[in-house]
Amino acid sequence: MNRAVCVLYFGKAMFNKMKRFFRQYFCIKNNRPGFSLIEVMVGVAIFVIFSVGIYSGIQLVFKVVYQSRLRIVETAILNEQVEIIRNRSFYDVGIVNGSPAGVLNQTVTTTRNNIDFTITRTIRNIDDPYDGTIGGDPNDTAPADYKLVEMEISCNTCGQRVPLTMTTYVAPKFLEGDPTHGALFIEVFDAEGVAVQGASVNIVSNSTDPTIDLTDTTDNDGMLRLLDLGEGLASYQISVSKTGYTTDQTVAVSELILNPVKPPASVVAQDVTEISFSIDSVSDMALSTMDVYCSGIFSVPVNISGTKLIATDPVLKIDENINTDGSGDYSFVNMEWDSYAFQTTGYDLQGSIPALPISLLPGASQPVQLILGADTVNSLVVNVEDSITGQPISNASVRVYGNGDDETKSTGVGFVRQTDWSGGTGQLLFSNDLKYWSDDGKIENNDPSGDLKLKVVGENYVSSAEMESSVFDLSTSVNFINLIWEPLSQPVETGDNSVRFQIATSNTSTPETWDYLGPDGTGVTYYNNGNNVISDANNGGQYLRYKLLFTTDSVTSTPTVSDVSVSYTTSCTPPGQSYFGDLENLEYEVEVTHEDYQMKTESITLDGDMVFSIELVSN
């Protein structure tokens, strides 16, 4: 208070000096009374500067004095707390329901000079290396040698940013600790096995003596060492958490969980129990359900399941049923890193981006697209991966055969396909699988049903014919890959290139003209059995149609087409995957070939909708 009086006295003296200065300057200057406006403004400015400086100095002095007095009061309170603790029995020095257990509450409040203070106590057992350490050499079977007492005090209403801390040690008079107690070491690490510092660990036991209900944090090594706990079999329930992280915990036996993977921890007298937990940053997944044309499919029932277990029965940590919304979307938040599989109801899963199962990393925001199609009883998605990198392999040939079925597809591509033209002409936009747009009257489309060939006039085949397909809507701009038709081998009598195609694409369904192009991007060449790679000139189109031309060198032979498909890629084409639908519930052989990898064949027995992964070894 003496400093404050001095400052006030100094301020008053300065004010009197300034008053005399202004009086002399403004009234005597130039031997005339009065002063100008500019002189008044300059004088006021000088006065304000001095006044503010004096006021700020007074405020600073008062603040320093107040904080000093506050620190003196807090120090006195902590000294009282130390004396109170030191005058208690060593076995009473501990936190109620804590470890070490005792009679002290972890948090208390007190009032001095009409100011409320909060005191937080932390007490830990210390294993001094003088007589060995628990689990060390020599092994200290009574490791609770003495106790560390740390107290913090703060005033929440005083603008105090950093609490005042005081630390002391308390030792027993004779014995180190209770010989019927044991130790519990809790280790916390992340997905990569790195220690997690500052994780919050909650330990509860209602069946031990004493009972425990405490929360503490892991040290720089990701460890929490509790040295003096009452013995108990499967008595300690433990939960580990951290802001922004997943949680991990022990699970008690129940009617639903008979064999938990991580049951409550036990503590054995004069022994160490070690238990570990793994937590890491939470992740998100944005799920979308769509068709092969990238259009959203809404309200799809989806089951998501992980691999991590709660119990060995098994009971999965994540096994959840959801429905996508009106746009075909669903957001999973605060997910744990794991490998996740998806199953749908009412649809065939025709692939996913990325490939299933989804490997969700810690702290990731992972988009997932499920490509769906018409539901069949049994279906198969073959996922082809590199054996070293695990990356999907596109353009691999996947053959699925057995029990009369034999089908080959390429991975990482979409396709449109027509296998029957028996419905005849007149369909501009492709909607009926059996129809097409037009022909020149020389096409036979129903003998046998579904195949295309030259028409017979009299007793002979006509020499040439032409047909034009309906318009296929791919729903989005695509990049085309191959034009494939069956059978590739035609009768020798028909001559070379008796089956030829051209492709026309557009960004509208009804352009002014359809420009049919061949493999060199012009209208004068044709796709034949030696060239079926679609020209880049067709890329970027949403609408597709094809033109088929037949010729024969012999009036007694005709070429035939029974299957036409065009493959392409889009932003929603599953990479490294091929879909096979409407299969039998039987065993199949899956043969995968690629020019850069060794061929591989595996057997699979279908049961519903399945995803089957095959790893290829590089040549």
Residue 456's DSSP bridge partners are 461
Banded pLDDT at 572 (limits 50, 70, 90): confident
pLDDT reading at 590 higher than 50: yes
Banded pLDDT at 549 (limits 50, 70, 90): very high
**Mean predicted confidence (pLDDT) in 246-261:** 92
Contact 273, 230 (CB under 8 A): no
Distant-in-sequence, close-in-space partners of 310: CB < 8 Å, separation ≥ 6: 251, 257, 260, 261, 316, 317
Q: Is 346 helix (H, G, I), strand (E, B) or coil?
A: coil
Q: Report the chain's C-alpha Rg in angstroms.
A: 42
Banded pLDDT at 552 (limits 50, 70, 90): very high
pLDDT at position 521 is: 93
pLDDT reading at 524 higher than 90: yes
Q: What percent of the chain has pLDDT over 70?
A: 91
pLDDT reading at 395 higher than 90: no
pLDDT at position 567 is: 84
Distant-in-sequence, close-in-space partners of 41: CB < 8 Å, separation ≥ 6: none
Banded pLDDT at 1 (limits 50, 70, 90): very low
Total number of residues shown for the chain: 619
pLDDT at position 293 is: 79
**Mean predicted confidence (pLDDT) in 404-430:** 90
Domains of the chain: 282-375 (2.60.40.10), 443-558 (no CATH)
**Mean predicted confidence (pLDDT) in 507-534:** 89
pLDDT at position 163 is: 87
Closest CA to 204 of 83, 98, 81, 285: 98
pLDDT at position 303 is: 97
CB atoms within 10 A of CB 186: 23
Banded pLDDT at 197 (limits 50, 70, 90): very high
pLDDT at position 58 is: 73
Q: What's the N-to-C CA distance of the chain in angstroms?
A: 89
**Which of the given ranges, 6-15, 99-108, 137-146, 458-467, has the highest pLDDT on average?**
458-467
**Mean predicted confidence (pLDDT) in 298-322:** 94
**Mean predicted confidence (pLDDT) in 528-546:** 87
**Mean predicted confidence (pLDDT) in 177-192:** 85
Distant-in-sequence, close-in-space partners of 126: CB < 8 Å, separation ≥ 6: 144, 145, 146, 147, 148, 169, 227
Q: Range with the lowest mean pLDDT among 7-21, 217-231, 270-284, 293-307?
A: 7-21
Q: Range with the lowest mean pLDDT among 90-99, 184-193, 270-279, 572-581?
A: 90-99
C-alpha count within 13 angstroms, C-beta hemisphere, residue 431: 4
**Mean predicted confidence (pLDDT) in 360-372:** 91
pLDDT at position 6 is: 44
pLDDT at position 23 is: 57
Contact 616, 396 (CB under 8 A): yes
pLDDT at position 304 is: 97
Return the amino acid letter for 487: P
What's the predicted TM-score (pTM) here? 0.62
pLDDT at position 16 is: 61
Q: Range with the lowest mean pLDDT among 204-213, 411-420, 541-550, 599-608?
A: 411-420
φ, ψ of residue 436 to 5 degrees: the values are: -145, -175
Mean pLDDT (the chain, rounded): 86
Q: At CA 211, angle to CA 209 and CA 216, rounded to 5?
A: 125
pLDDT at position 45 is: 80
Banded pLDDT at 15 (limits 50, 70, 90): low
pLDDT reading at 82 higher than 90: no
pLDDT at position 8 is: 42
pLDDT reading at 25 higher than 70: no
> And the tokens for 413?
């591509």
pLDDT reading at 465 higher than 60: yes
Banded pLDDT at 142 (limits 50, 70, 90): low
Banded pLDDT at 517 (limits 50, 70, 90): very high
Contact 214, 97 (CB under 8 A): yes
**Mean predicted confidence (pLDDT) in 519-535:** 87
Which pLDDT tens digit goes with each residue over 40-52? 787 778 877 877 7
Banded pLDDT at 116 (limits 50, 70, 90): confident
